[in-house]
Homo-oligomer: A and B are copies of this chain.
Amino acid sequence: MISRYGQLLQEGLKLDMSRGKPSKAQLDMVSDILTVLTDADQCVLNGQDTRNYGDLAGLRCCREYWADVLGCKPEQTFVGGNASLGLMHDLICRAYTHGLKDSERPWCKEERVKFLCPSPGYDRHFLITEHFGFELITVPMHPDGPDMDIIEELVKDPTVKGVWCVPKYSNPQGYIYSDDTIARFANLKPAAPDFAIMWDNAYCVHEFDGDFKPFPDIISMCEAAGRPNMVYEFASTSKITFPGAGISVMASSEENIRYHTKLVGIQTISYDKVNQLRHVRYLKDRAHTIELMKKHAQIMAPKFEMVLKILRSELTNKGIAHWHHPQGGYFICVAAMPGTAKRTLELCKKAGVTFTPAGATYPYGHDPHDSMIRLAPSYPPLEELEKAMMVFTTCLKIAALEKYLGIHIID
């Protein structure tokens, strides 16, 4: 093991598995989208010119597209720019500066604001709420979703203003929230009137193993439970077409969408409607999008299989790591033996392989057990992936051995 590490060091690798980026093959596969709108006339739709100003909440056909994908109504959608992260940030920012629809005051005027962070979770979510000075509360994740007993208890505190969720193929574990978990979210009765469920459905159609799994419409569920303004759902085409040049959506109650559209009207005149139209022409509807996702799956599946195969062959039954086998999303999360995650990634880095920093999947970048490691298999080609995984499993084993022995074997 030690000599294998020595060999790996000699290879002078430079590999990156840190981010959930689609691969070049995936981007090439969807690059036909560049030619769906090529002349002036195609940009005019029912007399409306997508090239010009206007239509702040998005083209009607694009709102219909997202309503179809998410199972809600077009009036419940707001189409944004190329990043759903921007929509999430801007929503939290508006809560801070002006308050949400049902806020008693802007959150910047609250003495304290707490936000629930099911962890491990998505670092960029946690960063947004940290950025605005909120107190981040870690909530444990289970294979059926966040610990709802704890969440139901915590939301009795009126300073708890919201929760981050990735309900389908959670980042990073790849869990799918159970129907029961989702129902408990919709039926939450938080003390804060403006409690916000940030429902980031980033991987809503992103199966790489098996058929599309339908998901319930959280918006109508919250409405049925009597709190229609409690949830904000987000999605984007970042992992359907181009990560850098797609479109995004926020979905919520019609009342919320009207409220936020008015405030966004201060910020901009409209988002990029030519790109909205380009996407609707290319993706058509949910059924057609799911067909496209099967082609992505053909590129993604072998990479996940490779990673899982190496994890199995190198780490099974050694008691030093376990992981979930996801069927969609962009990540595999390895729970290393407590106290070994940082050391594992330090050793990987020495050998030229970069992963998401240990701790990143927890609030404030601090994993209390120093255990969770997020693997992002999508970007590197298969041969690089294999090499990176050999480095990873070797380093994880060395870190575990060092932990047992209580000394560093490698300088």
Contacts of A39 in B (CB 8 A): 31, 34-35
Mark out the residues of chain A between 62 and 86 whose CB falls within 8 Å of any chain B CB in the assembled complex.
Answer: 81-83, 85-86
18 pairs, A vs B, C-beta closer than 8 Å: A19-B53, A21-B52, A22-B52, A27-B49, A27-B51, A27-B52, A31-B40, A34-B38, A51-B243, A51-B244, A52-B244, A55-B244, A82-B270, A82-B271, A85-B267, A86-B267, A108-B108, A245-B275
Contacts of A271 in B (CB 8 A): 81-82
Task: Give how many copies assemble into the complex.
Answer: 2
Task: Please report the C-alpha to C-alpha distance between residue A285 and residue B128 in the assembled complex, in whole angstroms.
Answer: 37
CB nearest neighbor in B for A86: B268
Contacts of A221 in B (CB 8 A): none
Task: Please report the C-alpha to C-alpha distance between residue A131 and residue B93 in the assembled complex, in whole angstroms.
Answer: 13
Q: Does A135 contact B (CB under 8 A)?
A: no
Contact indicator B267/A90 (Cβ below 8 Å):
yes
Contacts of A40 in B (CB 8 A): 27-28, 31, 34
| Interface range, A side | 35 or more
Contacts of A124 in B (CB 8 A): 266, 269
CB distance from A285 to the nearest CB of B (A): 23
Contact indicator A89/B270 (Cβ below 8 Å):
no
Q: Does A50 contact B (CB under 8 A)?
A: yes
Q: Does A96 contact B (CB under 8 A)?
A: yes
Contacts of A89 in B (CB 8 A): 266-268
Question: 1/0 per position for A226-250, CB-CB distance to B under 8 A?
Answer: 0000000000001000111100000
Contact indicator B127/A266 (Cβ below 8 Å):
yes
Mark out the residues of chain A between 21 and 65 whose CB falls within 8 Å of any chain B CB in the assembled complex.
Answer: 21-22, 24, 27-28, 31, 34-35, 37-40, 43, 49-55
Contacts of A90 in B (CB 8 A): 267
Contact among B38, B50, B132, B275 for A272, CB-based, below 8 A: B275
Contact indicator B21/A43 (Cβ below 8 Å):
no
CB nearest neighbor in B for A19: B53
Contacts of A269 in B (CB 8 A): 83, 85, 124, 243-244
List 9 tightest A-B contacts by C-beta distance, closest first: A245-B274, A31-B40, A51-B242, A89-B267, A83-B268, A86-B268, A28-B40, A53-B243, A82-B272
